[in-house]
Amino acid sequence: MEPLGDAEEFTAAVAEMVTEETPRPFAVMQEYGERLDARIHSWGMSFHDHADPISVGGSVRLGMRSPEHALRWASPDPMVTAQLVWLDELPDKLSQ
Protein backbone atom coordinates (compact mmCIF):
# COMPACT_ATOMS: atom_id res chain seq x y z
CA MET A 1 0.00 0.00 0.00
CA GLU A 2 1.21 3.48 -0.83
CA PRO A 3 1.26 6.24 1.83
CA LEU A 4 -1.47 8.85 1.50
CA GLY A 5 0.79 11.77 0.68
CA ASP A 6 3.58 13.16 2.80
CA ALA A 7 3.23 13.74 6.56
CA GLU A 8 1.78 17.24 6.13
CA GLU A 9 -0.81 16.15 3.53
CA PHE A 10 -1.80 13.16 5.64
CA THR A 11 -2.22 15.33 8.76
CA ALA A 12 -4.38 17.79 6.79
CA ALA A 13 -6.54 14.96 5.41
CA VAL A 14 -7.05 13.48 8.88
CA ALA A 15 -7.94 16.91 10.31
CA GLU A 16 -10.49 17.45 7.53
CA MET A 17 -12.03 14.01 8.12
CA VAL A 18 -12.33 14.61 11.86
CA THR A 19 -13.83 18.06 11.31
CA GLU A 20 -16.41 16.80 8.81
CA GLU A 21 -17.42 13.77 10.89
CA THR A 22 -17.51 15.33 14.36
CA PRO A 23 -20.71 14.19 16.11
CA ARG A 24 -23.05 16.90 17.33
CA PRO A 25 -24.10 16.66 21.00
CA PHE A 26 -27.69 17.26 22.03
CA ALA A 27 -30.03 16.94 24.99
CA VAL A 28 -33.66 15.88 24.98
CA MET A 29 -35.60 18.00 27.46
CA GLN A 30 -39.00 17.20 28.90
CA GLU A 31 -41.29 20.12 29.68
CA TYR A 32 -44.14 19.41 32.07
CA GLY A 33 -47.31 21.38 31.40
CA GLU A 34 -46.68 24.89 30.15
CA ARG A 35 -43.35 25.85 31.72
CA LEU A 36 -44.33 24.22 35.05
CA ASP A 37 -41.16 22.15 35.25
CA ALA A 38 -38.48 20.64 33.03
CA ARG A 39 -35.81 17.98 33.19
CA ILE A 40 -33.17 16.47 30.98
CA HIS A 41 -34.49 13.15 29.70
CA SER A 42 -31.44 12.03 27.73
CA TRP A 43 -28.14 13.07 26.22
CA GLY A 44 -27.15 12.16 22.72
CA MET A 45 -24.73 12.36 19.87
CA SER A 46 -25.90 13.00 16.34
CA PHE A 47 -23.86 11.51 13.51
CA HIS A 48 -24.39 12.07 9.77
CA ASP A 49 -26.46 8.88 9.43
CA HIS A 50 -27.86 8.16 12.93
CA ALA A 51 -28.22 9.38 16.51
CA ASP A 52 -27.44 7.68 19.81
CA PRO A 53 -29.48 9.03 22.74
CA ILE A 54 -28.75 7.69 26.23
CA SER A 55 -31.14 8.14 29.15
CA VAL A 56 -29.86 10.33 31.99
CA GLY A 57 -29.59 7.33 34.30
CA GLY A 58 -27.71 5.45 31.61
CA SER A 59 -30.10 2.52 31.74
CA VAL A 60 -31.38 2.94 28.17
CA ARG A 61 -29.31 3.53 25.05
CA LEU A 62 -30.99 3.57 21.68
CA GLY A 63 -29.80 3.89 18.12
CA MET A 64 -32.12 6.02 16.00
CA ARG A 65 -32.22 7.44 12.50
CA SER A 66 -32.17 11.02 13.78
CA PRO A 67 -32.27 13.03 17.02
CA GLU A 68 -35.86 13.99 16.20
CA HIS A 69 -36.90 10.35 16.66
CA ALA A 70 -35.84 10.62 20.31
CA LEU A 71 -38.62 13.15 20.90
CA ARG A 72 -41.29 10.44 20.63
CA TRP A 73 -39.38 8.30 23.14
CA ALA A 74 -39.35 11.22 25.61
CA SER A 75 -43.04 12.20 25.33
CA PRO A 76 -44.85 9.47 27.27
CA ASP A 77 -48.06 11.43 27.87
CA PRO A 78 -49.89 14.54 26.59
CA MET A 79 -48.74 16.69 29.53
CA VAL A 80 -45.06 16.20 28.60
CA THR A 81 -43.52 17.96 25.63
CA ALA A 82 -40.09 16.88 24.46
CA GLN A 83 -37.67 19.38 22.98
CA LEU A 84 -34.35 18.91 21.25
CA VAL A 85 -31.57 21.20 22.54
CA TRP A 86 -28.36 21.43 20.52
CA LEU A 87 -25.41 22.18 22.77
CA ASP A 88 -23.64 24.21 20.09
CA GLU A 89 -26.66 26.54 19.81
CA LEU A 90 -26.95 27.41 23.51
CA PRO A 91 -26.30 31.04 24.38
CA ASP A 92 -23.10 31.60 26.29
CA LYS A 93 -24.57 32.39 29.72
CA LEU A 94 -21.53 31.25 31.68
CA SER A 95 -19.33 34.18 30.68
CA GLN A 96 -21.79 36.81 31.89
| Overall average pLDDT of the 76-94 stretch | 87
- Model pTM? 0.80
- CA nearest to 68, candidates 85, 55, 54, 56: 85
pLDDT digits (tens, 9 = 90+) for 29-39: 999 999 999 99
The string of DSSP codes covering 43-70 is EEEE-SS-EEEEETTSS-B--BSSTTHH
Domain ranges of the chain: 23-89
| Overall average pLDDT of the 2-22 stretch | 92
pLDDT digits (tens, 9 = 90+) for 63-77: 999 999 999 889 888
What percentage of the chain reaches a pLDDT higher than 70?
Answer: 96
